[in-house]
Amino acid sequence: MRGVFATMLAVYSDDNTLHDPDHFISRGVQIAVRESPERVVQLQAALRDGGHVIRAPRDFGRDALLSVHDPRYIDFLANAYDNWQTLPQPRGPMVLANSYAMRQMKTLPTSFEGQLGFFLSGNSVPIGPQSWRSIASSANCALEAADTVRGGAAESYALCRPPGHHAYADLAGGYCFLNNTALATQHLRGRFARVAVLDVDVHHGNGTQSIFWERGDVLTVSIHGDPNTGYPWQVGYAEERGEGEGLGKNLNLPLPLGTTDAPYLAALDHALAAIRAFDPEACVIALGLDAYEEDSSEMMRVTTAGFGAIGARIGAQKWPTVIVQEGGYAVDALRRNLGSFLNGFLSTRGA
């Protein structure tokens, strides 16, 4: 036991607050975006509460992003806001697509307007004037945290915003643009032969699953609300197990609406046993805090103490671990829920 005073390296940048989408359409109603800059303020407060060492990330550059993303997609995201300004009026203040390409429609148009619906999968990924800076910064936070563990640290935490686990190699969705968790995972592969991803966000980690779908060297495990009852709806079911080299290297554990701490922890034990069987040399935790009982996602009923128990069980595995922040929308509870998770995690780390 290192006790409650143990600390870890956390990576954060002020640029993560710049992305500031103003609205979102849900069930036909315009609502305020839940993935707000205020989330960062609360998460950062938790890091200060814990006395963790906070460091800004380096810029790992475009090549690092290409480790899991399509270059055409990176160019699209980086230039989207400027290109939007060239479209005729009337147009809104943020980049949004009108028509979405189901991926049976395979042609990538050369026009910016045609590419909008190809690379953006819904209205939850608006792009404003500063969004790319936040998106790139968030990715750099994940890469910096991963680099620390690659260099020998036992653990690190990346305060990523916007989140990333719904982003595919070439598709944004669910508030996510670049897949921070996948970038951290691939960076760890530069040292570690087998890396496991454990996604505890209440929504299925569909982008991460897709990126590593045919990979035998990366195990992806996701515990999430039944996708038949919430985002991402069409993916995240138990029968999805990977293909080719990746067959059997993807595990989905969907749980019913209203799941409380005890059944959640039972599912976590099952997930951890599967990861131990894979014998990873390092692990990435996609840490959503939206399984919380008061989260607007309204999918599960995990308590603040429950997040501490989740952290403790993960920490006890002793894997070199990168924790990447994903969702969590009960803004007033983020501070205590992140604190609870990190305290639990660190309480079981020592020799």
Least spacing, CB of residue 297 vs Zn ion, in Å: 6
Residues 189-218, interacting with Zn ion (CB under 5 A): 201, 203
- Between 155 and 290, name the residue whose CB sits nearer to Zn ion: 290
From the CB of 22, what's the least distance to Zn ion, in Å?
20
Q: Which is nearer to Zn ion, 39 or 203 (CB)?
A: 203
Is residue 225 a contact residue for Zn ion (CB under 5 A)?
no
The count of chain residues that interact with Zn ion, using the rule CB under 5 A, is 5
> For the window 326-345, what string marks contact with Zn ion as x by the rule CB under 5 A?
-x------------------
Cα–Cα dist 78/57, whole Å: 19
Nearer Cβ to Zn ion (170/201): 201
In the complex, the smallest distance separating the C-beta of residue 287 from Zn ion, rounded to whole angstroms, is: 10
Cross-strand partners of 120: 172
- Annotated catalytic residue, options 19, 69, 166, 187: 166
Instruction: Report 246-305 residues binding Zn ion (CB under 5 A).
Output: 288, 290
Report the phi/psi class of residue 174: left, alpha or beta, with left for phi > 0 and alpha for psi in -120 to 50.
left
Residue 80 or 202 having the CB closest to Zn ion: 202
Burial of 217 (0-12, 13-18, 19+ CB in 10 A): middle
Minimum Å gap between C-beta 181 and Zn ion is 12
Contact yes or no for 45/161 (Cβ under 8 A): no
Task: Mark whether 23 is an active-site residue.
Answer: no
Sign of CA dihedral 161, 164, 166, 172: positive
Q: How far is the CB of 224 from Zn ion (least distance, A)?
A: 8
Catalytic positions, written as ranges: 166
Binding stretches for Zn ion (CB under 5 A): 201, 203, 288, 290, 327
